[in-house]
Amino acid sequence: MNDVTTQVTTPGENADASGTAASGRARRVIRAALPVVLVIAAVGGAAAYTKNVVDDADRSARTALWEKPAHKPGKDPAGDVARGRASTELSKLLLPVPSGYRLGPDNGELGNDGEQSGKKATAAMKESAHGLAGKERRAYEKRIDKLRVEGIAVRSYAEDDNNLVIRTEITRMKDKKAVRDLYTFETGLLESLGIFRQEPKVKGHTRNAKCYVLRKGSKDSIKSMNCLAFDGELSISLSASGTKPFDRTAVAELLKDQLNHITSPGEYI
């Protein structure tokens, strides 16, 4: 994740002791906390993919990104694999690839449009806690066991101009209360770190969805954004990375479309 990667000053280097040390501690906290909060999201892989394609892109003309905030589906007929598979109950809940997008890059075992059983998803979620150790990791693994995960579906989207990559995950759990508790835990952890700001709002879903960006200060050309949401027994996470100018509102609009699609799948098929 390019927005959160930095070099930590070691003792003996000529730097401001208070400012640099505090920044280093904050960055280390992010590295430990984000795997827990985002479970198995892959912002880093998406950011690397975006940077690679942008580096090779033609910059002779400026591209206007996301001229319309609402995402309408492409004209491809339902069932077109280019819009994402819909062969299972969980995969049908993922937003079909909208116009202006294509299926994004593969990232990990699930690729760009995959699904895992509850057992495998639980194991992957536990593995994401590699930044924790000892008592904290055991407590986190117990929390994951209590979620009773039934399955997870993932789909990535790449904007046609290669300026934005988005990855969406939907996890189904047996207990709606567990889903709400996980959402409260994740958002609370992000907000407690003090290095994220919550924005923008997801229209129509202010009670069950939040998006976060790092506070100002990064000079990196790649920007990222993470969103968390829930709907009944479903936990939804969305991660996005792209080049400047990074349209946060457009990403939130896609999350809104995803949540609306869960409620009324036929509207986007």
pTM for the structure as a whole: 0.70
Rounded to 5°, the CA angle 245-246-250 comes to 125
Q: What kind of fold does domain 18-56+73-268 have according to CATH?
A: Protein Transport Mog1p; Chain A (3.40.1000)
Read off the pLDDT of residues 18-59 as tens digits, 9 standing for 90 and up: 444 444 544 444 444 444 444 333 333 334 444 444 444 443
Q: What does the alpha-carbon distance between residue 95 and residue 255 come to, in Å, rounded to a whole number?
A: 9
* Mean pLDDT score, 167-172: 95
Read off the pLDDT of residues 233-262 as tens digits, 9 standing for 90 and up: 999 999 999 988 888 888 999 999 999 999
Looking at 56-175, list the stretches that DSSP marks H as alpha helix, in order from N- to C-terminal side. Answer: 118-127, 134-147
Q: What does the alpha-carbon distance between residue 268 and residue 262 come to, in Å, rounded to a whole number?
A: 10
| 241, 57 Cβ separation under 8 angstroms | no
